[in-house]
Amino acid sequence: MLLYFAPMEGLTTSLFRRLHARSFPGADRYYAPFLAPDGQGRVKDSALRELAPEHNRDLHLVPQVLCNSAEAFLALSRELAAMGYGELNLNMGCPSATVVPKHKGAGMLLDLQSLDAFLDRVFSETPLRVSVKCRLGLESAEEFPAVLKLLNAYPLSELILHARDRKGLYQSTPDLDAFTLAFASSAAPLAYNGNILSPAHYSVVMSTIPKLDRIMIGRGAIANPALFRQLRGGEKLDAAELFGFLEELFSSYLASGLGEYHSLGRMKELWYYVNHMFPGAGRELKRINKARSAGEYRASVSALFSSGRFDADACFPGALPGIPR
């Protein structure tokens, strides 16, 4: 089984990726949060620094791009090829209301004729392998057969399918029936994405699609950084190792020059997911969220871990058939 760590903006930074891979090995690939190039394919220098090989040593990292301009995609692909990358992932799944109306992310499904023209140009000229991360449709999974027919006409290195339509955002129950139909018809290797939040969720997906050989996980692996290890038969997350991981990550952000305010912001974003490992600890978690200094934050985290509320079997909430939200 190939296990992929999904890109999550503001969370799966190069610092996070390196520390996670060292502390909780098990992910075969990490996908970087999307690059959003301008019309000439230019992105911020800070975004390219995040992809620099020296910041991602010993990782199989795949950059992702969010754009609907073939010219921009190709310009960026040439730059990434010069950096040593061999693959670029096209984001056709982002459901954001600020992205879709611009015909980017899941919005690329608004006009299949334009998408066809985009892919034709890209696959004619790109120096990289191109994979696609996509949703089942905009309003319904009934749209996906037409999307898949189009995608099957191109030599995708891989198709990562988030088993929801755009309307479902991240709240609806993934459609395993629609994914199963896609799995039987995809010309490219097909990876599953959507609500793998625990070993139990993984078991549901595997029992439904037993021949599946690749899965992408995002929120589940942020909330429980040992999830990949567990899925490979390893030990559950331990409170002490989680404490050490979070402290090392915070210290690394501070040492990087990010600054106390922004380092705290990064950690609080992470705690939105991690807090589900501490059921019933609302008071302690609120103190972490209200912390305004490194000292206050560390004291609040220590108090939480001392509360004894850590539950290695708890997980971020989300449904799959047979598993209630």
Where a domain ends, among 175, 210, 230? 230
Sites in the chain below the pLDDT cut of 70: none
pLDDT of residue 325: 80
pLDDT of residue 1: 98
Where a domain ends, among 183, 208, 230? 230
Tally of structural domains, the chain: 2
**Does 70 lie in the same domain as 196?**
yes
Global model pTM greater than 0.85: yes
**Does 275 lie in the same domain as 198?**
no
**Does 251 lie in the same domain as 226?**
no
**Does 204 lie in the same domain as 65?**
yes
Domain containing 218 — which CATH number?
Answer: 3.20.20.70
Asked, for residue 120, whether it belongs to a domain, the answer is: yes
Asked, for residue 314, whether it belongs to a domain, the answer is: no
Q: Let me know: does 228 contact 16? Beta carbons within 8 Å.
A: no
**Does 261 lie in the same domain as 209?**
no
**Does 268 lie in the same domain as 224?**
no
Asked, for residue 300, whether it belongs to a domain, the answer is: yes
**Does 294 lie in the same domain as 263?**
yes
**Does 86 lie in the same domain as 191?**
yes
pLDDT of residue 211: 98
**Does 202 lie in the same domain as 260?**
no
Query: For 228-251, how does the pLDDT look when each residue is reduced to its tens digit (9 = 90+)?
Result: 999 999 999 999 999 999 999 999
Which residue range(s) make up the domain with 172? 2-230
**Does 108 lie in the same domain as 36?**
yes
Strand partners, 129: 87
**Does 225 lie in the same domain as 271?**
no
Query: For 75-103, how does the pLDDT look when each residue is reduced to its tens digit (9 = 90+)?
Result: 999 999 999 999 999 999 999 999 999 99
**Does 270 lie in the same domain as 167?**
no
Q: Let me know: does 1 contact 29? Beta carbons within 8 Å.
A: no
Asked, for residue 87, whether it belongs to a domain, the answer is: yes
pLDDT of residue 324: 85
Q: Are strands 87-92 and 64-65 parallel, antiparallel or unpaired?
A: parallel
